[in-house]
Amino acid sequence: MITTWPSPAKLNLFLYITGQRADGYHELQTLFQFLDFGDTLTIEATQRGALTLHTPFAEVEDENNLILRAARLLKTTALADQRIDASAGAGFSIEKRIPMGGGLGGGSSNAATVLVALNRLWQCGYSAETLAALGLQLGADVPVFIDGHAAFAEGVGERLYPASPPEKWYLVAHPGVSIPTPAVFGDHDLTRDTPRRSLNQLMDEPWHNDCEAVVRKRFRKVDELLVWLLEYAPSRLTGTGACVFAEFDTEEAARRVLELAPEWITAFVARGMNISPLQKRLSE
C-alpha cells in the first residue's frame, strides 16, 4: 500500500546560546513552532527487505540522506528487538519543498516522518519517547518533529517542554545561500553567554536569535534580506540560517509584502502551527 506523509518545516521563534558543553556542543534555549509548509513523503512498505529512495538528491548521497538513515536505524533497532523480521522493507519518494541548509529543519523533519511512519507501517509498536530517543542520534531537532507539539527546548534541543506561542503568519525568505550549521557554531564572534531565563520570562521579552549577528556579518545576502524585511515587520533568522522570517497577524498582510519582494528573494507565506501536520495525520 502506498501512503503519503507530511514532513513540515519549523521555525526557531527565538534562539539563545547559554553556554558550551565540554564536548563543544552549544547549550541552547529555543522555541520551536511548525509551519503549514513542508515536504511530502510517499512511502510504500514492502516485504522485500530493501530500503530504497526512488527520488535521490543531487546534493546528498543516498548513504547520508536522512530519509534512508532514519529507515536503516529503525530497521536495525526493531530487528534487534525482534519486532520485525528481515523482510521488512520500504520504498520512499519525496516532493522536496524545504530549502536545504535553510534553518527550517528539513532533514530532521524527513527523518522524524520516516521514523513515525515506518513505526506505524511495520507495526513496531515503539512509543513516541523511544522514537524521539532514536531520532536524537540523527539530529538535535528530530525529537521535536516526532513529538509534534510546538516546544521550548533546552540543552542541545533534547529537553522539550510543550509551548503554545501565537500561531502567526510568516513570510519566510531565502537569500540564496546555504549555511552549514558548523560554520556558525565555530565562529569566534558568536555570543555564547546569554543568561539562562525561565520560559515565562522569555515569553514576555522581545525575541532574538543569537546566531543572527554572526550570520549577518559572514553572509551579506542575509543582512540585505533582513534590512529589507525589517522595513515591514519584526523579522529574524531561524536556526543557524540561511532563512529569515517576518511575522504578521494576517495572511493578507504577509502576502502584501511578498508581492513587493525584489527578484533576488525567494519567499513564501506560511502559517505557524502548534500541532504539527504529521501529528494531525497520525490521529486521522
Ligand X SMILES: C[C@@](CO)(OP(=O)(O)O)[C@H](O)COP(=O)(O)OP(=O)(O)OC[C@H]1O[C@@H](n2ccc(N)nc2=O)[C@H](O)[C@@H]1O
Ligand Y SMILES: Nc1ncnc2c1ncn2[C@@H]1O[C@H](COP(=O)(O)OP(=O)(O)O)[C@@H](O)[C@H]1O
Q: Which does 41 bind (CB under 5 to 8 A by kind): ligand Y, ligand X, none?
A: none
Closer by beta carbon to ligand X, 140 or else 246: 140
Catalytic residue annotation: 10, 141
Three-state DSSP class for 67? helix
105 belongs to the binding site for ligand X (CB under 6 A): yes
**109 marked as binding residue:** yes
Three-state DSSP class for 150? coil
Among positions 157-216, residues that touch ligand X (CB under 6 A) are: 157, 181-182, 185
- Rounded Cα gap, residues 150 and 31, in angstroms: 8
28 belongs to the binding site for ligand X (CB under 6 A): yes
Judged by the rule CB under 6 A, the positions of this chain that interact with ligand Y are 60, 64-67, 98, 100-108, 110, 181, 239
279 belongs to the binding site for ligand X (CB under 6 A): no
- Rounded Cα gap, residues 105 and 30, in angstroms: 14
**283 marked as binding residue:** no
247 belongs to the binding site for ligand X (CB under 6 A): no
For 164, the grid coordinates are 503554545
Three-state DSSP class for 247? strand
| Sequence-distant (≥ 6) Cβ neighbours of residue 134 within 8 angstroms | 73, 74, 77, 115, 126
Three-state DSSP class for 92? strand
Q: Which residues are annotated as a binding site?
A: 99-109
Q: Which residues are annotated as a binding site for ATP?
A: 99-109
Site of interaction with ligand X (CB under 6 A): 12, 24-26, 28, 30, 103, 105, 139-141, 156-157, 181-182, 185, 239-240
